Amino acid sequence: MSDMTYESATARLEEIIHRLDSGEAQLRETLELCEEAKGLIKFCADELAAVDEGLKELKLEDLAASLGAQGTPAPAQDEEPPPPEPDVPF
């Protein structure tokens, strides 16, 4: 599976599912397909976990919050936002 991508793994899983659903697979083939599917599922789960970790490192939520604040940088997660300015009547 060294040349495997997430997309090719999910495509192969779909093929396996269709073969198993067809009811045409013999007992030994069913076992082999299930073993292959198990490896593909683990590969896909590992890929998703790696992407999830990368997204956490990028802190896309912080970036989106800072862009949504009209150019005002969002406070870091460990910092408290500044207090609101008091209303002063004129």
Class of residue 76 by CB neighbours under 10 A (exposed 0-12, middle 13-18, buried 19+): exposed
Domain edges within the chain = 6-68
Put simply, whether the predicted model's pTM sits higher than 0.75 gets the answer no
C-alpha distances (whole Å) from 64 to each of 1, 30, 69, 73 are 36, 47, 9, 10
Q: What is the pLDDT of residues 60-88, one digit of tens each?
A: 667 777 787 755 555 556 666 667 776 65
Distance CA 6, CA 38 (A): 14
7, 48 contact by CB (below 8 A):
no
Tokens of 74: 């969002």
pLDDT tens string 32-64: 999 999 999 999 999 999 999 887 877 766 777
